Amino acid sequence: GPIKYQGLDVDYQGQLYFPHSQDPWDGMYRMNIVVRTAGDPKSLASAVQTSIYHLDKDQPVYRVMTMQQLVADSLATRRFSMALLGLFAAVASLLAAVGLYGVLSYSITERRHEIGVRMALGAQTSDVLKLVAVQGMRLALIGVALGLLGSFVLTRMMKSLLFGVGATDPVTFALVPLLLGVVGFVACYIPARRATKVDPLIALRCE
C-alpha cells in the first residue's frame, strides 16, 4: 500500500519494488529490511541478524530499531518545536492570568469607595462578586476571541508540524478557549472575593 518513505510530511508519490539483484543503482543505497512480528520486536533482533549472517556473513547489520523508534526519531525535531511552543503558550497563559489579576486588583482598589457605597445601600456579597467577575471575564473573553481570530491565520504556518490532526481541529479550538476561560475565571475570582470583604464603613471613611 501507499507508504511515506521520505517522511510523514512528504506526500505519497508512488513506490516501485524490484529484486535487489536487479538494483538499477548497482547497490549505491543500503538495503532496509522490515520484519512484522506478533510479539515484542526487540526479542527477534538477534534471530533476524543471525538469519542475515547465514545468507551473507560479510553483510553488516546496523541501525536495528522498532518502527516506533524510527517514527519517533523522524519526529524528534518537530516534537521539540511543539514542546517549545507549548512551553511558550503555558508561560503566556500564566502571564495573562497574572496580568488580569493585577488589573482587577488595581481596579478594585480604585473602586473601594464605589463598592463601599453599593454595599452600604444594600448590595449583597453575590452582587459585588458578580460585578467584579463579569468585568474581568469580559476582558478575558475579548482576549480569547482575538486569540481565536489570530490562531486561524497562524495555524496555516504550523501544518508541517502537525500529524494526525488538522491545523483547524475543532476539538482543539473548543478545548483551548475553554481552558483559557477557566484560567481567566480563576484570575477574576480571587480579586472578586477580595471585593466582597470590603467594609463599607472603612471604605467610606477612607474617602
Q: Residue 87: pLDDT band by 50, 70, 90 thresholds?
A: very high
CB of 94 closer than 8 Å to CB of 101: no
Give the pLDDT of residue 202. Answer: 66
Give the pLDDT of residue 152. Answer: 79
Q: pLDDT (tens digit, 9 = 90+) per residue, 94-146?
A: 887 788 778 777 777 777 777 777 777 887 888 878 887 787 788 778 888 88
Mean of pLDDT values over 2-24: 76
Mean of pLDDT values over 63-90: 86
Pure H helices in the chain: 45-55, 67-74, 76-110, 112-120, 125-154, 170-196, 200-206
Q: Residue 10: pLDDT band by 50, 70, 90 thresholds?
A: confident
What's the mean pLDDT when you consider all of the chain?
79
Question: pLDDT: is 133 or 165 the higher one?
Answer: 133
Q: Residue 77: pLDDT band by 50, 70, 90 thresholds?
A: confident
pLDDT for residue 158 is more than 60: yes
Q: Rounded distance, CA 85 to CA 97, Å?
A: 18
Whole-structure pTM over 0.75, yes or no?
Answer: no
